[in-house]
């Protein structure tokens, strides 16, 4: 965006913790617009600073608007003066998401005992609370949501993985995956403390996608489909036992086996065969 022949640098919008402006390597005297509720990190020639008050600011980068094409040509297409701008929210009520994946590991499903690979995705709702500490902790090359997520994952991934592994021992894997499972207080507080040391405040951390491998997911579905079918059969047997044999499951089992043998290929209900089998068992 250009304003009176110079670049106009504005928040590009979006839901990320840090939002990189479309303009980079801008000319000296370009205008930076910081709206209420926003802050902006400014990286010029490797030096970092930040503004957290709304206003319109003139930026000096050392790159002449008149000689910029010549400077770029001499440096073979690479600007000799670099500048990058990242916007964030200073409003204490606005939280953004940091998302990262835990490296793949093997987990055990509680009911089936099946083993399979998972790579959970963790979502943290966060905001930059201490901008000074934040930009001291992160190098310019690490800025950007995906890079911050990678940075966090490398440092907390191992103990979050242990937490997830333990949760899989206490509930079926599909429940952990499908029902957005919150972390225990110990993990939650540990993650909050770690991010607080980076200048980031968090309000929530959750597993949003368990990352079950397709092969493991297929085997789990097969098991739980069979289990659901077996439970349905048990309900049918129990209903027959209560209705015909006063709850005697042994007589009911004999009755149903005989019924199946007598009916053979008949698929429709045959009350005569039912009555014959029942009288024989009684």
Q: CB under 8 Å to 48, separation ≥6 — which residues?
A: 41, 42, 135, 140
Instruction: Give the chain's domain count.
Output: 3
- Please report whether residue 101 resides in a domain: yes
Residue range 265-281, pLDDT digits in tens:
445 545 545 555 555 45
| CA-based radius of gyration for the chain | 32
Q: The tokens 């987990």 sit on which residue?
A: 107
Q: Which single residue is written with the structure tokens 């929210």?
A: 89
Q: What is the pLDDT of residue 56?
A: 93
What is residue 87's predicted lDDT score, i.e. its pLDDT? Answer: 93
pLDDT number for residue 229: 81
| Both tokens assigned to 146 | 């995906």
β-sheet bridge partners, residue 188: none
Mean pLDDT, rounded, of the chain? 77
Higher-scoring residue by pLDDT: 242, 168: 242
Task: For 178-237, write each residue's pLDDT tens digit.
Answer: 444 556 667 778 888 888 988 999 888 888 888 888 898 899 888 888 888 877 877 877
* 267 and 186 inside one domain: no
Residue 122, CA atoms < 13 Å, CB-side half-sphere: 28
CATH of the domain at 150: 3.30.479
Q: Residue 49: which of 86, 82, 79, 81 has the closest Cα?
A: 86
Q: Last residue of some domain: 74, 89, 104?
A: 89
**How far is Cα of residue 125 from the mean position of the Cα atoms in its chain?**
11
The boundaries of the domain holding residue 197 are 96-212
Residue 29 lies in a domain: yes
């Amino acid at each position: 965006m250009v304003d009176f022949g110079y670049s106009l640098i504005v928040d590009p919008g979006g839901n990320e913790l840090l939002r990189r402006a479309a303009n980079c390597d801008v000319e000296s005297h370009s205008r930076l617009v910081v709206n209420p509720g926003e802050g902006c990190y400014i990286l010029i020639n490797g030096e970092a600073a930040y503004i957290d008050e709304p206003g319109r600011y003139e930026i000096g980068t050392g790159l002449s608007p008149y000689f910029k094409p010549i400077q770029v040509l001499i440096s073979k297409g690479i600007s000799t003066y670099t500048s990058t701008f990242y916007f964030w929210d200073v409003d204490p009520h606005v939280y953004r998401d940091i998302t990262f994946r835990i490296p793949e590991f093997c987990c055990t499903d509680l009911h089936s005992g099946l083993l399979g690979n998972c790579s959970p995705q963790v979502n943290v709702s966060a905001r930059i609370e201490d901008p000074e500490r934040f930009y001291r902790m992160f190098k310019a090359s690490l800025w950007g949501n995906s890079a911050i997520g990678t940075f966090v994952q490398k440092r907390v991934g191992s103990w979050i993985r242990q937490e997830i592994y333990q949760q899989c021992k206490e509930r079926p894997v599909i429940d952990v995956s499908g029902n957005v499972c919150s972390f225990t207080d110990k993990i939650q507080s540990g993650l909050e403390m770690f991010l607080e040391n980076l200048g980031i405040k968090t309000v929530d951390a959750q597993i949003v996608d368990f990352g079950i491998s397709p092969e493991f997911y297929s085997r789990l579905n097969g098991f739980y489909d069979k289990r659901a079918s077996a439970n349905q059969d048990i309900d049918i047997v129990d209903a027959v036992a209560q209705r015909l044999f006063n709850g005697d499951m042994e007589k009911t089992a004999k009755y149903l086996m005989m019924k199946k043998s007598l009916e053979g290929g008949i698929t429709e209900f045959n009350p005569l065969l039912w009555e014959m089998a029942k009288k024989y068992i009684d």
